[in-house]
Chains A and B, each alone.
Chain A
Amino acid sequence: MNKTLTTIILVAVASLAPLAASAQTPVWNDIKGEEKIALETKGDVGRGAVGFEACQGCHRKDASGRVSGAYPRLSGQHATVVIKQIADIRAGRRINPKMEPYSDDHALTPYQIADIAAYLQSLPISADNGKGPGTAGAAGKQLYDKDCATCHGDAGEGNAAKFYPMVAAQHYHYLLRELFYIRDARRANANPMMVKVIKSYGDADLEALADYMAQLPPPRK
Chain B
Amino acid sequence: MAAALMLGAVAVPAQAEDAKTLASTVCIACHGEDGNSVVPMFPKIAGLQEEYIVKQLKDFMSGKRKSDVMGPVVANLKAEDVAPLAAHYSSLKMKVGEAADKKAVEAGKLMYQDGNETSGVPACLGCHQPMGAGKDIYPRIAGQQSEYVLQQLKNFAAGDRSNDPNRWMRSTAKRMTEAEMRAVAEYLAGLDAK
Interface residues, chain A, with chain B CB atoms under 8 Å away: 53-58, 60-61, 66, 68, 70-71, 97-99, 101-102, 106-108
Contacts of B138 in A (CB 8 A): 53
CA–CA, A68 to B114, complex, Å?
12
In angstroms, how far is the closest chain B Cβ from the Cβ of A107? 4
Could you say which of B122, B124, B167 has the most chain A C-beta atoms within 10 Å of its C-beta?
Answer: B122
Instruction: Please tell me if the beta carbons of B168 and A54 are within 8 angstroms of each other in the complex.
Output: yes
Q: Which 5 A-B pairs have the closest CB atoms?
A: A57-B122, A57-B126, A98-B120, A56-B126, A101-B171
Interface size of B by CB at 8 A reads 16
B126's partner among A53, A101, A106 (CB-CB below 8 A) is A53
B168's partner among A58, A66, A70, A102 (CB-CB below 8 A) is A102
Contacts of A70 in B (CB 8 A): 117
- State whether the Cβ of B166 lies closer than 8 Å to any Cβ in chain A: yes
- State whether the Cβ of B135 lies closer than 8 Å to any Cβ in chain A: yes
Contacts of B167 in A (CB 8 A): 101, 106-107
CA–CA, A71 to B115, complex, Å?
12
CA–CA, A199 to B120, complex, Å?
30
Contacts of A66 in B (CB 8 A): 117
Contacts of A107 in B (CB 8 A): 166-168
Contacts of A53 in B (CB 8 A): 126-127, 135, 138
A52 — nearest CB in chain B belongs to which residue? Answer: B126
B119 — nearest CB in chain A belongs to which residue? Answer: A98
Contacts of A106 in B (CB 8 A): 166-167
CA–CA, A64 to B168, complex, Å?
21
| A-B contact list, 19 entries, CB within 8 Å | A53-B127, A54-B127, A55-B126, A56-B123, A56-B127, A57-B122, A57-B124, A57-B126, A58-B115, A58-B120, A58-B126, A71-B117, A101-B167, A101-B171, A102-B122, A106-B166, A106-B167, A107-B166, A107-B167
